[in-house]
Amino acid sequence: MYSRIAGTGAYLPEKVLTNFDLEKMIDTTDEWIRTRTGIERRHIAAKDEATSDLSEQACRAALDAAGLTPADIDLVVVGTCTPDLVFPNVACLLQERMGMSGAAFSIEAACSGFVYSLSVADKFVRAGQATRALVVGAEVMSRIIDWTDRETCVLFGDGAGAVVLEASDDAGILYTDLGADGRYRNLLYADSGVSRVKEEGETTLLMKGNEVFKVAVRTLEGMVDRVLADNGLEQGEIDWFVPHQANLRIIRATARRLGLPMERVVLTVRDHGNTSAASIPMALDTAVRDGRIQPGDLVLMEAFGGGFTWGATLVRY
Ligand code: COA
């Protein structure tokens, strides 16, 4: 028994913030941002748009693509580090709004949130504890960004992506690998929460970009070596690589390690920026809808994020 991806969906807020807009806000240039990160623009949620609102649009699109309705879903899992509320979790908010039933919970693993969620939902479906799951990655990162900090604010954006997982006797998710190392917690974190709060100001994302970059490349290279070895695959045997969209230079390094030309890498970082847990399902949806990813293709998704957390999922689409 496998769980297969039966449909994908994505939603981006309307407002676009370009590098040229950022030039007017902080001491930066379009050229600096593009050459260091590959990002040209990102979408920013409206004041009244929360993570559940973005998620709902992505879920409805995924259900439409699968030819299903909310009544067909009996598990909702949402990867996010920017929930609407402390609780109820975003999955419960979605469940109520869309009229779904069954278990509903969120997973906080920063940029790895979608891969973690997919891995957990896969186990529910394969164990027969859920028939069909909605798995979501959704973030409103703009709310925890310090818009005066040029080292972080140029990197992030908002959005949501979702997939429907269902039981299948044929192929689907073949392999998942998750990891974490909390010793790196101070390299990338949000500086305030609920039980530990700072004295003044809003919660802000803080990052030592240079150090994150080095550990990310090293960790992802190790992970893709493991994915190939564990699955008896040679370099170049993956049809499509759908990486977390944090930085084009990190993605290039990982693709090289996989022995894949950039034509087989799905890239959305230019238009979306780093949308944390939302980036992989949005990139997957892009390549499914434009016809690049076809049934039977071997697709590798991988992510790395705050914690540090990381994960990979190999899917026979
Ligand atoms: N515009 C212009 N200059 C900037 C800038 C900006 N937006 N942000 C930083 N700089 C400056 C720095 O102040 C520094 O100036 P200095 O040399 O005078 O001190 C210079 O650019 C180089 O900074 P550095 O941090 O060494 O740049 P970098 O090449 O490492 O690139 C990142 C910075 C953030 C793009 C890069 O480190 C990165 O992508 N890291 C990974 C981040 C990431 O993906 N995080 C999420 C993981 S899920």
pLDDT tens for residues 24-37? 999 999 999 999 99
Is 43 a catalytic site residue? Answer: no
Q: What is the pLDDT of residues 170-188, one digit of tens each?
A: 889 999 999 999 999 999 9
Mean pLDDT of the chain: 97
**pLDDT confidence of residue 186:** 98
- Ligand 1 neighbours (beta carbon < 6 A): 28, 32-33, 36-37, 111, 150-151, 154, 207, 209-210, 212-213, 216, 246-247, 274, 304-305
Give the active site residue among 81, 244, 247, 272.
244
Per-residue confidence band for 194, with pLDDT thresholds at 50, 70 and 90? very high
**Do 283 and 302 form a contact (C-beta atoms < 8 A)?**
no
Give the pLDDT score at 287.
98
Dist. CA 19 → ligand 1 center (Å):
15
- For residue 151, the ligand 1 atom closest to its alpha carbon is 8
Task: Pick the residue whose CA is nearest to atom 30 on ligand 1.
Answer: 210
Picking from 138, 116, 147, the residue whose alpha carbon sits closest to that of residue 58 is 138
Residue in this structure with the two tokens 């798995």, named with its chain if needed: 135
What distance in angstroms lies between residue 198's CA and the mean position of ligand 1's atoms? 26
Can 274 be counted among the known catalytic residues?
Answer: yes
List, for residues 255-290, the tens digit of each pLDDT value: 999 999 999 999 999 999 999 999 999 999 999 999
| Helix (H), strand (E) counts: the chain | 10, 13
Give me 240's structure tokens: 């499509």
- What number does the ligand 1 atom closest to the CA of 244 have? 48
DSSP letter, residue 204: -
CA dist 269 and 185 (Å) reads 24
Stretch 113-119: mean pLDDT, rounded? 98
Quick one: which of 289, 291, 299, 272 has its CA closest to 7?
A: 289
Task: Please give the distance of CA 273 from its chain centroid, rounded to a whole number.
Answer: 11
Q: What is the pLDDT of residue 276?
A: 98
Residue 210 Cα to ligand 1 midpoint, Å, equals 6
pLDDT digits (tens, 9 = 90+) for 294-303: 999 999 999 9
**What is the C-alpha separation between 73 and 39, in angstroms, rounded?**
35
Task: Determine which one of 81, 111, 247, 272 is catalytic.
Answer: 111
Counting from 1 in the atom list of ligand 1, the atom nearest the Cα of 276 is 48
Task: Read off the pLDDT band of 79 (50, 70, 90).
Answer: very high
pTM over the 0.85 mark:
yes
Q: How far is the CA of 49 from the centre of ligand 1 (A)?
A: 29
Portion of the chain with pLDDT greater than 70, in percent: 100
Active site residue 92: no
Ligand 1 centroid to Cα of residue 54, in Å, is 29
Q: Encoding tokens for residue 144?
A: 């925890």
Whose tokens are 């034509």? That residue is 263
Q: What's residue 24's pLDDT?
A: 98
180 within 8 A of 302, measured Cβ to Cβ: no
Q: Peptide bond preceding 308: is omega within 30 degrees of 0, i.e. cis?
A: yes
